[in-house]
A = this chain, B = another copy of it.
Amino acid sequence: MKSPEAKPVDPLKRRIHTIIFEADTAAGKAFDVGLLILIILSIVVVMLESVVPIDQKYGHIFDVLEWVITALFTLEYILRIYSVGNPWKYIFSFYGIIDLLAVLPSYLSLFVQGSQYLMTIRAIRLLRVFRIFKLGNYLMESHILIQALRASRTKIIVFLGAVMTVVVVVGTTMYLVEGNAGSGFDSIPRSIYWAIVTVTTVGYGDIAPVTPLGQFLSATLMVMGYGVLAVPTGIVSVELAHADRQAKLNTISCPHCSREGHDEDADFCKFCGYKL
**With A and B bound together, what is the CA distance between A158 and B240 in angstroms?**
14
Q: How many copies does the complex hold?
A: 4
Asked if A176 is at the interface (CB within 8 A of a chain B CB), the reply is yes
Interface residues of A in 207-256 (CB under 8 A from B): 208, 210, 212, 215-216, 218-219, 222-223, 225-227, 229-241, 244
New A-B pairs, 13, CB < 8 Å, besides A145-B231, A234-B236: A51-B188, A120-B172, A121-B169, A129-B161, A141-B154, A193-B215, A204-B205, A205-B205, A226-B232, A230-B232, A241-B241, A267-B272, A268-B270
> B165, B235, B237: which contacts A126 (Cβ < 8 A)?
B165
Q: Is the CB of A145 within 8 A of B158?
A: yes
> B204, B222, B233, B239: which contacts A233 (Cβ < 8 A)?
B233
> B124, B148, B231: which contacts A234 (Cβ < 8 A)?
B148
The interface residues of chain A, by DSSP majority, are classed as helix
Q: List 13 A-B contacts (CB under 8 A).
A: A46-B188, A47-B192, A51-B187, A197-B203, A197-B219, A204-B208, A226-B232, A233-B236, A237-B240, A266-B270, A267-B272, A268-B272, A270-B270
Interface residues of A in 96-131 (CB under 8 A from B): 114, 117, 120-121, 123-124, 126-127, 129-130
Q: Is the CB of A270 within 8 A of B263?
A: yes
> B50, B124, B138, B175: which contacts A157 (Cβ < 8 A)?
B138
Asked if A196 is at the interface (CB within 8 A of a chain B CB), the reply is yes
| A45 vs chain B, min Cβ distance (A) | 11
**With A and B bound together, what is the CA distance between A223 and B202 in angstroms?**
10
8 pairs of A and B residues whose beta carbons are closest in the complex: A268-B273, A202-B203, A204-B205, A266-B270, A234-B237, A120-B172, A230-B233, A230-B236
Interface residues of A in 172-200 (CB under 8 A from B): 172, 175-176, 186-190, 192-193, 196-198, 200
Asked if A89 is at the interface (CB within 8 A of a chain B CB), the reply is no
Q: Is the CB of B270 within 8 A of A265?
A: yes
Contacts of A163 in B (CB 8 A): 223
Spell out A's residues near B (CB within 8 Å).
43, 46-48, 50-52, 114, 117, 120-121, 123-124, 126-127, 129-130, 136-138, 141-142, 144-145, 148-149, 154-161, 163, 165, 168-169, 172, 175-176, 186-190, 192-193, 196-198, 200-206, 208, 210, 212, 215-216, 218-219, 222-223, 225-227, 229-241, 244, 261-263, 265-275
| A180 vs chain B, min Cβ distance (A) | 11
